Amino acid sequence: MEHHLLCASSSLLLLFLFSSIPVTSQFTFGSSKQAHNYANVSCIENERQALLLFKHGLIDESNRLSSWIGEACCSWEGVGCHKITGSVLKLDLRNMVPLYSDEDYHCTNCLGGQLTPSLVNLTDLQYLDLSVNNFSTFQVPAFLGLLKNLRYLNLSNAGFDGEIPYHLGNLSHLRYLDLRWNWLRTKDLGWVAGLSSLEGLVLSNVNLTAARDGLQSINMLPSLTMLDLDSCGLFIHPHLSHVNFTSLAFLDLSGNNFSNYTAPPWLHNLTGLHDFRLGHNNLSDPIHGLFDQMTSLVHLDLSSNRFDASMLKSLCNASSLTYLDLSFNNVQGSIPSEIGQLINLTYLDLSSNDLQGSIPSEIGQLSKLTILLLHFNKLNGTIPTDLWQLTKLQDFDVGDNSLAGVLSEDHFAKLGELKSLDLTGNSLALNVSSSWVPPFQLHEIWMGSIIVGPRFPAWLRTQKEVWVLDMRNASISDAIPSWFRVLCHNITSLDLSSNSLTGNPLEFKQLKHRPSRYRYRDISLSSNKLDGSLKSFPLDISVLDLSHNFLTGHIPQLEVGQTSVVHTLLLNDNRFIGTIPEGLCKLENLSELDLSNNLLSGRVPLCLGNLQFLMGLNLANNNLSGQIPSSLGNLWRLLSLHLNGNKFVGKLPASMQHLRNLTALDIGDNGLTDIIPAWIGEREENLAHNNLSGFIPHCFNNISAMVSGLHGHGRVDSQERLEDIKGGRELEYYLSSLRFVESLSLSANNLVGEIPDEIMELVQLQFLNLSQNYLTGKIPDKIGNLKRIETLDLSMNALFGAIPESLSDLYSLNSLNLSHNKLSGPIPSGNQLQTLTDPSIYEGNSGLCGKPLPNSCWEHKLPTKNGPIDDDEGHSESDWSWFYAGIGPGFAVGLLGVLGILLFKKSWRYAYFKFVESACDKIWVKTTRLRRKFR
């Protein structure tokens, strides 16, 4: 990525230099050397006053304009004058210091404030550069359109906002205009047509979505040699009656709106292109013969489209190419051997495709290659020997493929220029001696999930310039050597997780004088065998992951006056003891805190509610006690809260209803006593194993993500647990995907009443556990609405009635438990239910019958049209016919017998009607009392 940006900026710079030579040769620069050479050049007084007025409107925190004093304005910083007349021709106030270079993320070297119209008095001004400053909230001033002699105007990355003034179209002598990387927009590009002398136009990231016919206006610029429309959202018109800008050498149409995802045919007319960029356009159709006529093409970026293997094949004849990016496409099949014809290539990116087969040895013929990126494909076999002969290679990335083989010292012998090496995610093994001294000094080492161990790689000691080291899951079973503790101080990203490293954790010392790229570090040593205590707390580490080790002792406190930049702290699955230190509340930037599965005790500090950036909090499975602090309700950014497996008592704090962004709440396995509040149904829940009582709220259908299928926003890259939601097992998910796992667990509480029909509206629900309560009533008939349900547990309740037939419509169901209720009737059959053959999922329901239970439902079988059928007891259809035929006459004879006795036996008749009258009186009295009671 770094090399890509360098290539992009260098191309722009080269074109700028060519276009600006006629301008810059006429005036001096404001440097001290040139000021000395032209010290005798007089300064025009009204122009000096105009510059002072302009300075007065600026905010100059770094005092960059300190030289703007005295009479000789031609010697001021950034001012260039004509050698003879002394008139100001150039004003170059570009900020050369990178933005946000200091500790406070504030550009102290930027100029700000407001641009005053006094610049209009610089009537001969030809060159104006205000780029890389901070004029935020201000619009591009319209008075710039009055600077009629301007040849060069650069306002890029200066924080301007609002509409581009159409007055800029009056600058008919302008040759270069750069407005990129601001907050600008325009509804009409018609003003561009007035820039008749324009050679370079840069509008990257300017919002042009409303400028529907913008390309027609740009097409009226015949002198255009450079056009940058990257990420403008501009509609690229497929048909232009005539293309005027055929002299284009640089064209960037990346990230725009192509009609029907096809490249317009008028691109064939741009045969003089040197640099062509079409990335991030979702183009799909092959551009037949487009590049055949572009014989001067040097730089080609087709990344993030949908081009297939035919595109790669067609480009193998473009021998002039030095830069080719086909990453993130749909290129399938093998890499063609003809790629060896691109002998001038220095940059080749075929990553993130569907390439298969072996890496062709012909790539070894590309002797000028410095960047080779083949990661995220399906390449197999060994790495060809010829590739190890590419002596100019600086970035070699074949990660995340299916490559195999053993790499020795000889393979790297000629790669002295190598700076980045990525072998991650292959079946590779590194077999080098402990005394090996590599010929390179790597900046980035990516060797995750290959075999590097079992010994800790001693050759790392020779690598003094490393800032990224990834050897996770690298089969290292060794102690961390003492020399590595010094080396890792310069590493910005360290990942040695999922090995078997032993010993004490690293000592996290902060260097007082650290280069800017080393300011903050990410450290991951999770899933190892580190023991001992954590003696100090990191101050310059933004991500610290020591989870899944054997660390003991207390979590360290921040010392008085110390501040830390840590935003992710993962200490879970260790053996830390004691209380949660209140010093953690000083970590003002903390966005994720995981202390779960330790031996922590005591109460949760109230001050945790002050961590306003916290998005994930996991304190599960400790011995924490007391009440859940109401201050947690202040964490309005919180997405995930896990407090399960502790000894919390009391009620849920009412303040928690303010956690509107919460997508996962797990407070199971505590001693909470409360009714379920109405607001609880607005998020993903595990409330299992508490003493919650009352009815299930009907508001559970307010969980909009489950109802509509739309998922909430926000992402924290950590591992999340939702326990007791799937068949009693513990599942782990990443919080980034937790939004897609919709679950509800209320098991093992004291809930009563019926299952609300509203739960059946949660169509995205995947896991539902209401077991071990006192629920009554029937299973809702609408349960068939839960089309995505995978786990359903309603066991150990008092549910009665028949199992709804719609249960058989649940095609995703793979775990079901309806045992120990009062259900009756036949078990539905068909579809997914046929695969759930374990009788125990229905046991404890004496009224159920049918498969997979042993008792059949013979009374529900009916004869078919195809003739007699035998049931399980061997009865034929004729047997049942005689049975049904005898029912009618038998009933008639019995009824006549009873009526005859009442007719001829007077005493029986009086007793019968007296009994009926007495029963009616009792029923009337009871119903009358009940009506009065309810009134």
Query: DSSP string covering 73-138, please?
Result: GGGSTTEEEBTTT--EEEEE----SPTT-STTS--TT-EEE---GGGGG-TT--EEE--SS--TTP
- pLDDT higher than threshold 50 for residue 735: no
Cα–Cα distance for residue pair 741/764, rounded to 1 Å: 9
263-272, 398-407, 736-745: range with highest mean pLDDT: 398-407
- What mean pLDDT do residues 274-281 have? 94
Quickly state the pLDDT bin for 906 (edges 50, 70, 90): low
Any residues with CB less than 8 A from the CB of 375 and at least 6 apart, and which? 351, 352, 397, 398, 399, 400, 401, 422, 424
What pLDDT score was predicted for residue 621? 96
- What mean pLDDT do residues 220-231 have? 94
Please give the residue that has the higher pLDDT: either 319 or 13. 319
- pLDDT higher than threshold 50 for residue 866: no
* Ramachandran area for residue 238 (φ above 0: left; ψ -120 to 50: alpha; else beta): alpha
Cα dihedral 342, 348, 349, 354 in deg (nearest 10) = 40
What pLDDT score was predicted for residue 110? 92
What pLDDT score was predicted for residue 912? 62
The three-state secondary structure class of 406 is strand
4-18, 46-60, 652-666: range with highest mean pLDDT: 46-60
Structure tokens at 103: 């500790």
- What mean pLDDT do residues 778-792 have? 91
Any residues with CB less than 8 A from the CB of 660 and at least 6 apart, and which? 636, 682
Q: What is the pLDDT of residues 798-838, one digit of tens each?
A: 999 999 998 888 888 999 999 999 999 999 988 888 888 89
Q: Which of 67-71, 443-447, 676-680, 863-867 has the lowest mean pLDDT?
A: 863-867
Residue 71 CB neighbour total at 10 angstroms = 10
Cα–Cα distance for residue pair 806/767, rounded to 1 Å: 17
What pLDDT score was predicted for residue 513? 45
Cα–Cα distance for residue pair 662/638, rounded to 1 Å: 6
Buried b (16+ CB within 10 A) or exposed e, 297-326: bbbbbbbbbebbbebbbbbbebeebbbbbb
- pLDDT higher than threshold 90 for residue 904: no
What pLDDT score was predicted for residue 530? 95
Largest CA distance in the chain: 147
Buried b (16+ CB within 10 A) or exposed e, 119-140: bbbbebbbbbbbbbbbbeebeb
What pLDDT score was predicted for residue 15? 43
* Ramachandran area for residue 70 (φ above 0: left; ψ -120 to 50: alpha; else beta): left
What pLDDT score was predicted for residue 676? 73
Q: Identify the helix (H) or strand (E) that includes residue 5.
A: helix 2-24
Quickly state the pLDDT bin for 174 (edges 50, 70, 90): very high
Q: What Å distances lie between residue 534 and 103, 531, 552, 557, CA to CA?
A: 27, 9, 8, 10
Residues 586, 563 contacting (CB under 8 angstroms):
yes
Question: Is the link from the previous residue into 852 a cis peptide, with omega within 30 of 0?
Answer: yes
Residue 611 — φ and ψ, nearest 5°? Answer: -80, 85
Quickly state the pLDDT bin for 424 (edges 50, 70, 90): very high
- pLDDT higher than threshold 50 for residue 894: yes
What pLDDT score was predicted for residue 701? 56
Q: Which ranges of 839-935 would DSSP assign to H, the alpha helix?
A: 877-904, 906-934
Quickly state the pLDDT bin for 356 (edges 50, 70, 90): very high
What pLDDT score was predicted for residue 21? 38
Residues 255, 301 contacting (CB under 8 angstroms):
no
**Which position has the token pair 């960059």?**
64
Please give the residue that has the higher pLDDT: either 613 or 731. 613
Cα–Cα distance for residue pair 609/631, rounded to 1 Å: 5
Considering the chain, what is the average pLDDT of its residues? 83
Residues 431, 407 contacting (CB under 8 angstroms):
yes
Cα–Cα distance for residue pair 503/643, rounded to 1 Å: 31
24-28, 181-185, 257-261: range with highest mean pLDDT: 181-185
Residue 22 — φ and ψ, nearest 5°? Answer: -65, -25
Write out the E strands in 616-715. 616-618, 623-627, 640-642, 647-650, 664-666, 671-672, 684-686, 693-695
> Which of the 8 DSSP states describes residue 893?
H
Residue 392 CB neighbour total at 10 angstroms = 16
What pLDDT score was predicted for residue 881? 53
Residues 521, 540 contacting (CB under 8 angstroms):
yes
Quickly state the pLDDT bin for 657 (edges 50, 70, 90): confident
- What mean pLDDT do residues 136-149 have? 94
Residues 377, 351 contacting (CB under 8 angstroms):
yes
Question: Is the link from the previous residue into 336 a cis peptide, with omega within 30 of 0?
Answer: no
List the beta bridge partners of residue 469: 445, 494
- pLDDT higher than threshold 80 for residue 602: yes
Provide the residue ranges of all domains of the chain, joining segments of one domain with +. 864-903, 905-935
**Surface-to-core class of residue 477, CB atoms within 10 Å of its CB (0-12 exposed, 13-18 middle, 19+ buried):** middle
Cα–Cα distance for residue pair 641/632, rounded to 1 Å: 10
Q: What Å distances lie between residue 60 and 47, 54, 140, 604, 810, CA to CA?
A: 20, 12, 19, 47, 67
Percentage of the chain with pLDDT > 90? 55
**Which position has the token pair 């995340």?**
400
Name all contacts of 561-565 with Cβ < 8 Å and 24+ positions apart: 562/537, 562/586, 563/539, 563/588, 564/537, 564/538, 564/539, 564/540, 564/589, 565/520, 565/539, 565/540, 565/541, 565/589
- pLDDT higher than threshold 90 for residue 459: yes
What pLDDT score was predicted for residue 529? 96
Cα–Cα distance for residue pair 63/57, rounded to 1 Å: 14
Please give the residue that has the higher pLDDT: either 265 or 881. 265
Q: Which of 348-362, 424-438, 511-525, 738-752 has the lowest mean pLDDT?
A: 511-525
Buried b (16+ CB within 10 A) or exposed e, 766-805: bbbbbbbbebeeebbeebbbbebbbbbbbbbbebeebbbe
Q: What is the pLDDT of residues 145-173, one digit of tens each?
A: 999 999 999 999 999 999 999 999 999 99
List the beta bridge partners of residue 82: 27
Q: What is the pLDDT of residues 680-724, one digit of tens each?
A: 655 756 676 777 778 887 766 555 444 444 333 333 334 444 444
Q: What is the pLDDT of residues 526-557, one digit of tens each?
A: 999 999 998 877 778 899 999 999 999 999 88
Beta strands 79-81; 88-92: pairing state = antiparallel
What pLDDT score was predicted for residue 680? 67
What pLDDT score was predicted for residue 776? 93
Percentage of the chain with pLDDT > 70? 79
**Which position has the token pair 């409330």?**
687
